[in-house]
Structure 1
Amino acid sequence: MTGDDETIAVVLNRLRRAHGQLGGVISMIENGRNCKDVVTQLAAVSRALDKAGFKIVATGLRECITGDPDAKEPMTEEELEKLFLALA
């Protein structure tokens, strides 16, 4: 992923938060916590991952359309659609 340092920092922070929350979910299951608590925490992990993914797509849209400098050619409309739907 390319982008300005602030955007990358935001994405990394969200991913680190999700990583920590996921560890918490695993511990909760291992310790026999109740279903409601586990599902609530799992939903928080999912939201954190979604936000990171949306931020990556939002800031990387120009790169996807114009093409990655290392790629042979820009992404097709179908490839872009598949990328966006992967987050849906």
Structure 2
Amino acid sequence: MTTAKPAPSQATPRVVNAYRSEHQRDIVNRLRRIEGQVRALVEMVESGRPCEDVAQQMSAARKAMDKAFYRMMACTVLEAVSGSDAEADVERSTRILEKYA
């Protein structure tokens, strides 16, 4: 018999912390992959690869960074839902998205 996870608004601090830890690992892994992509881009430029090939890989790295950003923002939404002042936290998350997205 499996037990369902509590809804975010009912999440215990322990569940939220476990999610945050897993979420942080995911973000760090994504950033490390992006770091590898950027190193490969430098090698491509230094070896004289065609501009279109470099542009394609730059686009992929940029999109990967955008995805990492949005995954990171999901953490602020979780904090907003589980926080005691949810309305203020949602507003804070909205301001971050408006400013950086």
TM-score by length of 2: 0.63
Cα offset, 1:75, TM superposition:
6.4
| Identity, % of aligned positions | 30
> Unpaired runs of 5+ in structure 1?
68-73
Taking the TM superposition and a 5 Å limit, the aligned residue runs for 1:7-86 are 7-63=23-79, 77=91, 80-85=93-98, 86=100
CA distance in 1, matches of 2:36, 2:80: 30
Which of the two has greater helix per residue?
A: 2
Q: Distance in 1 between matches of 2:20 and 2:89?
A: 21
Question: Which of the pair has more CA radius of gyration?
Answer: 2
How big is the alpha-carbon RMSD for the aligned residues of Structure 1 and Structure 2?
Answer: 2.4
Match of 1:71 in 2: none
Q: Which stretches in structure 2 are left out of the alignment for 5+ residues?
A: 1-16
User: Aligned pairs, how many?
Assistant: 79
AA aligned to 2:34 is A
